[in-house]
Amino acid sequence: MFFDESLAPMTSVGAQEIHRLARFLPVMVLVPKAAVPHQVTRLNESLQKSTSEPSDSTNLLGLVAKAVERFRSTCEVDTVAFGDVTIDFSAMEAHRKGSPVVLTTLEFKTMRYLIQNARRVISRDELLDEVWGYENYPSTRTVDNQIMKLRQKLETDPSRPAHFRTIHGAGYKFLP
């Protein structure tokens, strides 16, 4: 979609729709330079001063990276419920049918990543990179074992998982 500067300013209904979508997807809105508030202009100027020989693409990438980081931090949900499970990430507590379930720190990290990427197929390598990190690189069977433990603790029927689905040849998908 191309931006046309002759378009009328965004209506409040349009802004509400963008905010509603932003809860689920990253949303980038392009506006004419004249409509940009002074704070963003000052941020742009500070970015230019902080880099040696800045280019337009460097500034754009910096702004996009900051927007993505801001999106990720606002999307982090402290409490999530699915099926008969409730997880409170800030308190590191999990409950199933009202009873406490003991999860390890690594299981909480795995759950958070799966929930943040719900309905998306996540490869074992991606889970290893994002949850375990590069400096601590176990085998891909470690991921399989971790998912098995989560199924045993949180699924109603671990042998027929409803939430932690295996996508053969690709990885795993979390379905709330």
Is 2 contained in some domain?
Answer: no
Written as six digits, the tokens of 65 are 């990276």
Report the predicted TM-score, pTM, of the whole model to 2 decimal places: 0.57
Q: Which neighbouring-strand residues pair with 117? A: none
Closest C-alpha among 129, 153, 157, 156 to residue 143? 129
Written as six digits, the tokens of 56 are 């337009």
Closest C-alpha among 96, 68, 78, 102 to residue 154? 96
The last residue of a domain, from among 75, 90, 120: 75
Same structural domain, 40 and 57? yes
CA–CA dist 105, 13 (Å, integer): 42
The last residue of a domain, from among 25, 55, 75: 75
Give the residue numbers spanning the domain of 67: 12-75
Is 131 contained in some domain?
Answer: yes
The 10s digit of each residue's pLDDT in 37-61 is 555 555 556 555 555 555 555 666 6
User: What integer pLDDT is reported at residue 3 of this predicted model?
Assistant: 41
Same structural domain, 91 and 53? no
Q: Which neighbouring-strand residues pair with 80? A: 87
Q: Are 70 and 22 in contact (CB under 8 A)?
A: no
The CATH number given to whatever domain includes residue 86 is 1.10.10.10
